């Protein structure tokens, strides 16, 4: 006999909306990020078990970048979900090979390490298809890993649900932090922290440790417990905010400048369009070309497409030949005036600017 368990006793309030989105099949890709104790992995494991028991054709795969980490993470997490839902008698667990099987239908949860993504393969399924894919600690993967694995599993079925769970890395420029800022109609990005979790779920000691870190090392607390991108400390600039700049916002910019740093083989060429808000001491960078081995014709074509009024471009004056090549292609050039210490001065100036 299966015991009725209220989901409100298992899912933190911050995940209620995600739960409804899953029930209504609103999205395919669910990027769940947050700090320690946010219960995102617990939520995912419960949703996979419930989803499979409701859909007799649904199977699942849970992945870690390193195979050796599977048993102590996603495998144990899914076993926990089966137990707290009161359905342990309906599932069979195996370690060799590592899998979980829903006894009444033969549906399976398989586990894969992605040390070599191209060799990640599905298993022969008794019925149905892989509906659920879970990347735990997705920041350990590379973007190309994700593409390759999704191409393997996201086929042969009418609906898919892909979970990506992670604690955001410190650096805003880390690929996974950049990825969640990309808008897609089939994607939901959700951020959670321990602050929305019932205190009794976490325990007194967890809260004591969080409070102590907040008082003694607030930046570490923000990163570890709140899941904020706080920078690495090794970056040149720590006052950078990466966010979407809307077209309406760009229309208000009245101090736009265009700069060009030459590069070709090892170092990429970089073209930047920015606005300087002198009153608020902020720079807004809203267009870039960043490429290795770029030809003059291709560069001129892209600059003209962006710079329709042919406003002046300020390139590095150290490469007069490159500047002449670009000028001959119709780009207005105004080489930068550089003097002793200009680079250091520029870095110091940018460090004094405020975040947007």
DSSP-assigned letters across all residues of 36-67: TT--HHHHHHHHHHHHHHH-TTEEEEEEESSG
Active site residue 137: yes
Q: Is the dihedral of CA 140, 145, 149, 151 positive or negative?
A: positive
Pick from 94, 3, 100: nearest CA to 61: 100
What backbone phi and psi angles, to 5 degrees, belong to 193? -140, 170
Pick from 248, 284, 290, 240: nearest CA to 267: 290
Q: Report d(CA 94, CA 92) in Å as an integer.
A: 7
Strand pairing report for 129-136 and 58-64: parallel
Q: How far is CA 97 from CA 109, 110, 123, in A?
A: 11, 9, 11
- Which of 17, 24, 68, 137 is catalytic? The answer is 137
Look-up: residue for tokens 């007069």?
320
Pick from 200, 187, 181, 356: nearest CA to 280: 356
Half-sphere exposure of 173 (CA within 13 A, CB side): 10
Q: Where does the chain show beta strands of DSSP type E? A: 29-34, 58-64, 91-95, 98-102, 107-113, 129-136, 161-166, 187-192, 256-261, 269-277, 282-291, 314-315
DSSP code, position 126: S
130 bridge partner residues:
59
Q: Report d(CA 170, CA 224) in Å as an integer.
A: 9
Q: List, in order, residues 6 or more apart from 139 with CB less than 8 Å away.
A: 166, 167, 168, 169, 174, 175, 176
Which residues does the annotation mark as catalytic?
137
């Amino acid at each position: 006999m299966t015991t009725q368990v209220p989901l409100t006793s298992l899912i933190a309030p911050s995940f209620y909306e995600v739960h409804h989105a899953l029930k209504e099949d609103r999205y395919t890709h669910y990027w769940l990020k947050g700090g320690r104790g946010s219960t995102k992995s617990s939520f995912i494991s419960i949703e996979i078990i419930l989803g499979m028991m409701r859909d007799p054709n649904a199977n699942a795969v849970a992945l870690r970048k390193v195979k050796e980490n599977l048993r102590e993470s996603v495998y144990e997490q899914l076993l926990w979900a089966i137990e707290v839902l009161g359905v342990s008698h309906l599932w069979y667990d195996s370690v060799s090979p590592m899998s979980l099987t829903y006894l009444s239908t033969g549906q399976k949860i398989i586990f894969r390490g992605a040390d070599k993504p191209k060799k990640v393969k599905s298993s022969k399924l008794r019925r149905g298809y892989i509906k659920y894919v879970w990347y735990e600690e997705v920041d350990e993967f590379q973007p190309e890993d994700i593409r390759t694995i999704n191409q393997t599993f996201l086929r042969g079925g009418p609906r898919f649900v892909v979970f990506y769970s992670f604690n955001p890395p410190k650096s805003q420029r880390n690929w996974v932090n950049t990825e969640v800022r990309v808008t897609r109609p089939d994607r939901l990005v959700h951020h959670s922290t321990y602050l929305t979790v019932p205190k009794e779920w976490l325990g007194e000691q967890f809260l004591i440790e969080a409070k102590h870190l907040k008082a003694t090392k607030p930046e570490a607390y923000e990163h570890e417990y709140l899941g904020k991108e706080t920078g690495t400390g090794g970056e040149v600039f720590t006052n950078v905010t990466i966010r979407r700049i809307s077209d309406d916002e760009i229309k208000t910019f009245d101090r736009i400048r265009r700069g060009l740093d030459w590069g070709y083989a090892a170092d990429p060429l970089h073209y930047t369009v920015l606005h300087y808000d002198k009153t608020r001491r902020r720079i807004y960078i809203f267009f870039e070309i960043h490429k290795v081995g770029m030809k003059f014709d291709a560069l001129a074509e892209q600059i003209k497409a962006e710079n329709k009024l042919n406003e002046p471009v300020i390139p590095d004056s150290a490469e007069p030949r490159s500047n002449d090549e670009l000028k001959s292609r119709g780009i207005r050039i105004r080489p930068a005036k550089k003097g002793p210490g200009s680079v250091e001065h520029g870095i110091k100036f940018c460090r004094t600017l405020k975040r947007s």
